[in-house]
Structure formats: structure tokens, C-alpha cells
Amino acid sequence: MYKLYSMQRSGNSYKVRLALALLDAPYRAIEIDILRGESRTPDFLAMNPSGQVPLLEVAEGRYLAESNAILWYVAIGTSLAPESRIERAEALQWMFFEQHALEPNIGAAYFWLSLVKGGRDLQTHALEDWMERGYAALQVMENHLKTHDYFAAGQLTVADIALYGYTHLADRCDFDLATFPAIRAWLRRVEQIPGFVSMDWRPDAAVEDPASAAAEA
């Protein structure tokens, strides 16, 4: 069984939890609150020197970081990973887009405006840039979704999961999706997929205390 170190309110962590839920893959969740420094402890840094979540233990002592890399790992051999060479490349294309155009802007805005107390005042200088670049990324997605139901292979794939993670949080950090009807329709489509779980959902096997999880390892 996988062991997933994640933060409930993290969009990157949620992407992995959503994929595992859609695949009905068993895993054990360990909550890591990065706002309280739990990803910077010596024990955690020994597992992931970057000090970030999500982190997936795929075998005893073998760890995989970076949310989109984890998505590919768990999806290979399932319907979430396209089979043809070009469709896999197209899925990766959108996953790269998510990490360089969407997550650094909408993800950053969500973190500072929704999670960090007083974050808006701390990041006033950056917010305008996040909004401009975030809206530009949303427009690229909107243009694609005007003629496609999903981002690759004509069906739900890891590309959709990667993009859903922070797009569905956009309205929590000042972004207005009113002028993006295709995105709103796509969000609803994803949410209607059998096995879908919301960000707030917790697996039955959730472990809240990282210290006790480490002691059992």
C-alpha cells in the first residue's frame, strides 16, 4: 500500500489524492502541514530534500516527489494515462503547462490569499502579476476547451487532474471564472466522473500525526 505525505489544503497534494481515488487505489495518508514547518523537519527532509508535499512512498524507503511525476507513476497502465505516443505527449504538454503557467500564478495566489494569515498584505506587490498571468493561462485553457471535452486523448487523463487541482480553487483567490464558460463546464464534467472526491475528502486510513506514522515505519 502506498504511503502518501500530503497537505489537505494543498492543490498539488489534492491532485494525487484525486487520482488515487479515481483509480480506487488503497493508500495511507499522512497529513503534513507545511505552514507549521512539518515538511522541514530532519525526518521529512531525509525522505524529500526539497521539503515539499506531496511525497509518495512507493516501496519501503523509496520515495517519489513532484505531484505530476506521482500522477504519471500511479496512472501508468490505467485509463488515466493515454496509450498512444502522441496522446501521452499531449497529456505531458498540458501537465508542463500547468506547472509553468497555472500553478505559479493561481497556485501562488491561492496559497497567499487563502492559506496564509495576512498573506494579501505580504504579497501586494506580486498579486497583480499573478492575476495577469493566471488569467492568461485560463484563457489558453478556455480556448482549448471550446472544442474539446478534455485536455488529451478525448477522455479524462492525468492532464485533467493536474489542471483541475488549482483551477477549481481559482474563485477562492480573486479569479472570476464568469467569462470562462468552457472551463466551468469542464470542471463540472470532471466532478461527475465516478470516484471523484473533493479536496476536503479524507481517506478512511488517514493518519493525522506524522510523528506517529514515522514511529510505525
In three-state form (DSSP H/G/I as H, E/B as E, the rest C), the secondary structure along the chain is: CEEEEECCCCHHHHHHHHHHHHCCCCEEEEECCHHHCCCCCHHHHHHCCCCCCCEEEEECCEEEECHHHHHHHHHCCCCCCCCCHHHHHHHHHHHHHHHHHHHHHHHHHHHHHHHCCCHHHHCHHHHHHHHHHHHHHHHHHHHHHCCCCCCECCECCHHHHHHHHHHCCHHHCCCCHHHCHHHHHHHHHHHCCCCCCCCCCCCCCCECCHHHHHHHC
Q: What pLDDT tens digit does each residue of the chain (217 aa) get?
A: 999 999 999 999 999 999 999 999 999 999 999 999 999 999 999 999 999 999 999 999 999 999 999 999 999 999 999 999 999 999 999 999 999 999 999 999 999 999 999 988 888 889 999 999 999 999 999 999 999 999 999 999 999 999 999 999 999 999 999 999 999 999 999 999 999 999 999 876 444 455 444 444 4
pTM of this structure: 0.92
